[in-house]
Amino acid sequence: MANKQKNNTVKRKKNRYRMVIMNDDTFEEVVTFKLTRTSVYIMLSTFFLLLTGLTIAVISFTDLRFLIPGYGKQGALQELRMLKMKTDSMEQVMRFNEQYFMDLQKVFSGNQLQEKLDTTMLKLPKIENEYQ
């Protein structure tokens, strides 16, 4: 019984149908198509894939992508990088200023800086002048 249903399904997929487009006034056949269920499925799937690909291409390669919520505005990435660099440099300046003011407070309060100086001798190789 399962074999019988399988054969019927295969036969239905392979049955040929004719689609005729006619002029309503003259009943003249304008276009005739011979179709099967499989060919209709393949055509609709291909049309869907092409339409989806075209939509994705139009959105991703044009300025329409900036209309998508959360995608960001044009030039926002460059602005973000510039702001990050400015913030980093400002944080570094703030750290230097804090250290400077802490050292000033130590000097004014009478406490000497308790930092040990590096007094080790460095033996650097002598650089010969190549142009002599």
pTM summary value: 0.47
Q: Is the pLDDT of residue 3 over 70?
A: no
**Beta carbons within 8 Å of 113's beta carbon, 6+ residues apart:** 103, 106, 107
Instruction: Report the pLDDT value the prediction gives residue 107, as an integer from 0 to 100.
Output: 80
CA distance 30 to 19: 11
Task: Kindly tell me if the per-residue pLDDT of 119 is higher than 80.
Answer: no
Radius of gyration of the chain (CA): 40
Q: What is the mean pLDDT of residues 104-130?
A: 74
DSSP string for residues in 99-119: HHHHHHHHHHHTPPP-PPP--
pLDDT > 80? residue 2: no
- Residues forming a β-bridge with 35: 17
pLDDT band with cut points at 50, 70 and 90 for residue 130: low
Using pLDDT thresholds of 50, 70 and 90, give the confidence band for residue 56. very high
pLDDT for 84-112, tens place per residue? 999 999 999 999 999 999 888 888 887 76
Interatomic CA distance for residues 116 and 29, integer angstroms: 103
What is the per-residue pLDDT for 92?
Answer: 94
The pLDDT mean for the chain works out to 84
At what angle are helices 37-61 and 2-14 packed, to 10 degrees? 70
Name the DSSP letter for residue 93: H
Residue 115: per-residue pLDDT? 64
Give CA–CA dist 114/106, Å, rounded.
10
